[in-house]
Amino acid sequence: MSHLFYQTSQRRPLLDQARGVYMWDVDGKRYLDGSSGAMVCNIGHSNPNVLDAMRRQMEKSTFGYRLHFETEASEQLAARTAALCPEGMNKVFFVSGGSEAVESAIKLARQHALAIGQAGRWRVISRSPSYHGCTLGALAVTGYTPLTDPFAPMMREMPKIPAPRAYLDGLDPTDPATGAHYAAMLETEILAQGPGSVLAFIVEPIGGASTGALVPPVGYMQAVQEICRRYGVLLILDEVMTGAGRTGRFLGLEHWNLSPDIVVLSKGFAAGYVPLGAIAARDDLVGAVLEGGGFLHGFTYAGNPLACAAGGAVIDEIARLDLVQNAAVMGAALRHRLDALMTRHPIIGDVRGQGLLLAFELMADPVTKAPLPSALNAHQRLVDIAYEMGLIVYSRRTRDGVEGDHIMVCPPLIVTEAHLDEIADTLDAALTRLA
Ligand code: PLP
């Protein structure tokens, strides 16, 4: 009997070891980590250089409370993070995960509004579907009713606009009119809410699990940035999943040269070695908050030296192994294999993504894009079959009309062509068994 509990009563085998892209359970069964956990382990498991950096830090100190000490590890990681962000975003605040980082971004935005005399701004617009975390603030901006409904009475309702799912709406994502069409929904919502009440728009540059690696239509991201600017609404880019090289650029925003106000990082940022998240924000924004009395927010483990040492070593390894470029090259090669699977398995209705943030969607009809009934639980069945065959892929709980049956195929950025063959062959066999 286990005393542990997570979301469901489903139990998984005990993990014994993990190296590179592979994991072994205590019975010696090997799994290829085809989703990097939950799109976390970007540099693969048990990287010796990261372990060394962590060991060196542990021998120096494992904890220094931020009100008592700065640490070299946190100073250095902050400087390196700022250098990887757009010009003028030189202020970095550390936390221990993605939800904490989203909470921090929202609260920083709110305090900024107060500091500049715009106390009426509090609404944070986000998209549906979307996922920004499970704590109550992050959940309030999450557009996914199966997760939010039970807690609705405990949260302030935040406005949502539709995610730009052009493939479902029969629109061409390469047509600039499509991007403009979805971006206009943001402007309409800002006007409906009253521009003076809108604090921020939070968005993933490329969608994560909730939309199944949704790449926005041409012009969309630039247009939403422009709309935010026009109405004095802060642009928060949630790069928890897209950051740290996953999409073939270090940050997703680089695909469009965006200049957000706040960037949110976690997952691949410390690649699963330790819990770590961060927000990077514009200097003037943080300056106003600090001059206005300080940021009324902070977690005990913030800036933990061990976490920051691991984060710094992860950035080193991403650079040393050229993993951003490998994500772009291997991402294109994996995409090619997923497209080939779609021609063989009519249950696959769409393949999408960027770099190694890739997904395919199971559908009842690939032509009309009709979804499968959620009662079939097809995505989970496929995940379970693949797991039994030694391949880990990731999907999310679906509900009719809210989300589709997406399977995220997002291996560590260290993958080779041989790993991609193993992933594609196993998925091929698993899809055949599912049919
Ligand atoms: N934001 C995005 C885009 C995510 O994908 C996630 C997690 O999946 C989160 C925030 C929340 O991160 P965490 O689970 O580390 O709290």
Whether ligand 1 lies within 6 angstroms of the CB of 103 is answered as no
Please tell me the least confidently modeled range out of 127-141, 225-239, 283-297, 395-409: 395-409
pLDDT of residue 246: 98
Do 259 and 339 belong to one domain?
Answer: no
Per-residue pLDDT, 232 = 98
Q: Residue 53: what pLDDT?
A: 98
Q: Is pLDDT larger for residue 209 or for residue 326?
A: 326
- Give the Å distance between the CA of 27 and the centre of ligand 1: 31
- Whether residue 393 has its Cβ less than 6 Å from ligand 1: no
Q: Do 142 and 187 sit in the same domain of this protein?
A: yes
For residue 262, give its domain range.
Answer: 51-320
Q: 239 CB under 6 A from ligand 1?
A: no
Q: Is residue 8 part of a domain?
A: no
Q: Which of 9-23, 83-97, 256-270, 387-401 has the lowest mean pLDDT?
A: 387-401
User: Is there a single domain that holds both residue 300 and residue 395?
Assistant: no
pLDDT mean over 191-201 = 98
Residues 262 and 150 in one domain: yes
> Does residue 66 sit in the same domain as residue 163?
yes
Residues 215 and 282 in one domain: yes
403 CB near ligand 1 (under 6 Å) = no
Q: Over the stretch 224-268, which tens digit does the pLDDT of each residue have?
A: 999 999 999 999 999 999 999 999 999 999 999 999 999 999 999
Q: Is the ipTM of this complex over 0.90?
A: yes
Same-domain check for residues 279 and 342: no
Residue 409 lies in a domain: yes
- CA–centroid distance, residue 102 to ligand 1 (Å): 8
The pLDDT, as a whole number, for residue 5 is 82
Q: Are residues 154 and 262 in the same domain?
A: yes
Domain count, the chain: 2
Boundary residue ending a domain (301, 320, 339): 320
Q: What percentage of the chain carries pLDDT values higher than 70?
A: 100
Q: Are residues 178 and 76 in the same domain?
A: yes
Residue 359 lies in a domain: yes
Residue finishing a domain among 294, 320, 346: 320
The answer to whether the CB of 240 is under 6 A from ligand 1 is yes
- The pLDDT score that the predictor gives to residue 251 is 98
Say if 245 falls within a structural domain. Answer: yes
Domain identity same for 240 and 288: yes
Answer yes or no: do 417 and 406 share one domain.
yes
Residue 329 lies in a domain: yes
| Domain C-terminal end among 320, 336, 368 | 320
CATH code at position 400:
3.90.1150.10
Q: Ligand 1 center to residue 307 CA distance, Å?
A: 17
CATH code for the domain of 136: 3.40.640.10
3-class SS letters over the chain: CCCCCCCCCCCCCCEEEEEECEEEECCCCEEEECCHHHHCCCCCECCHHHHHHHHHHHHHCCCCCCCCCCCHHHHHHHHHHHHHCCCCCCEEEEECCHHHHHHHHHHHHHHHHHHCCCCCCCEEEEEECCCCCCCHHHHHCCCCHHHHHHHHHHCCCCCEEECCCHHHHCCCCCCHHHHHHHHHHHHHHHHHHCHHHEEEEEECCCCCCCCCCCCCCCCHHHHHHHHHHHCCCEEEEECCCCCCCCCCCCCHHHHCCCCCCEEEECHHHCCCCCCCEEEEECHHHHHHHHHCCCCCCCCCCCCCHHHHHHHHHHHHHHHHCCHHHHHHHHHHHHHHHHHHHHHHCCCEEEEEEECCEEEEEEEEECCCCEECCHHHCHHHHHHHHHHHCCEECECCCCCCCCCCEEEEECCCCCCCHHHHHHHHHHHHHHHHHHC
Residues 191 and 214 reside in one and the same domain = yes
